[in-house]
Structure 1
């Protein structure tokens, strides 16, 4: 088994900075949070 990407959606939710990014993206009206 190989490691999953670290910059996934869940990893972002773990950090304050990641949550900020998700919030900013959501404000822009993006449907997909992580490409």
Structure 2
């Protein structure tokens, strides 16, 4: 059996990175919510 989770930084960044979030309306809402909450890091990558 192969492992189900094989992390890759670039792939992750393209999916859930800052620029990916800014590209969609929903993503911008996520960033706005995290800013309002006062998160130190807006995106996990």
TM over 0.5: yes
Q: May I ask how many residue pairs the two structures share in their alignment?
A: 34
CA RMSD of aligned residues (A): 1.8
Q: Distance in 2 between matches of 1:7 and 1:25?
A: 14
* Runs of 5+ consecutive residues of structure 2 not aligned to the other structure: 1-9
User: Which is greater in Rg?
Assistant: 2
Runs of 4+ in 1 over 3 A off after TM superposition: none
- Which structure 1 segments of 5+ residues have no match? none
Aligned-residue offset at 1:7: 1.4
Q: Could you report, residue by residue, the CA deviation over 1:1-34 in whole angstroms, capped at 9, with x for unpaired residues?
A: xxx2221110100000000000001100112001
